[in-house]
Amino acid sequence: MRVLFIGDVVGSPGRQGLREAMPALREQHAPDLVIVNGENSAGGVGITQRTANDLFESGAGVITSGNHVYRHREAYDFLDAEERVVRPANYPQANPGRGHTVVEVAGMRVRVINLSGGVGLRVARSPFDTVDSILSHHEQDAVIVDFHAEVTSEKVAMGWHLDGRVAAVLGTHTHVPTADGRVLPGGTAFISDVGMTGSRTSVLGVKPEQALRSLITQMPTRFETAEEDVWVMGAVVEVNERGLADSFAQVMQPVR
């Protein structure tokens, strides 16, 4: 089974870029399952039913999220109803949505787990304890983890923590692709951050002049999503019948 994982889709430029790139990505990688992080898909911050449906129409089988998942209140009922969209599992249990889901692809039951890092981000429980609990209470053929975390040390630690127990631990949130992608000794594909799907002529998807103004002046600044030089970033993981990774490949594809 082959999984194509797409990093944080930023605003309408990211959604449109993914839509345009997906035919070529499918031809090149022939994925059985496409997982897309959509937590920045609505205007660069958050997710809505409309932007989620846009990602589904582009080919997403599961949508993961992160710390901006609750930015738009109108999405709360949708998060409760749509089983293919997940939010961090270590958020309060009463919050809208679910932290993991199962899809059946290529004759396998694949569990997709979304976790938030606990360093620099607000969570209700340790991501390490949370993922251990999920794995001990549920059965599946393979597990893909989107670890939406701030610091690389925590992401690397999660990779080693889950090595040999899940097919992949794929980092998101920081929007900058890292150079440490590989299959760990126990058979878990890992990368600290797959990058973002959006404008590279930007600061993490934001127009550069606005990000600079905010950083230099320390004053409130209205951010807008940058539109130029859109790239799709992500990873492809080949998963074997044991539910572990045979290979890992980084995806960095310019759209326009």
Which listed residue (68, 72, 173, 175) is catalytic?
Answer: 68
**How far is the C-alpha of 236 from the C-alpha of 189, rounded, in Å?**
9
**Contact yes or no for 65/88 (Cβ under 8 A):** yes
**Cα distance between the two ends of the chain:** 30
175 given a catalytic annotation: no
**How far is the C-alpha of 88 from the C-alpha of 173, rounded, in Å?**
12
**Contact yes or no for 48/42 (Cβ under 8 A):** yes
DSSP-derived letter for residue 146 is: E
Class of residue 249 by CB neighbours under 10 A (exposed 0-12, middle 13-18, buried 19+): middle
**Contact yes or no for 214/137 (Cβ under 8 A):** no
Catalytic machinery residues = 68
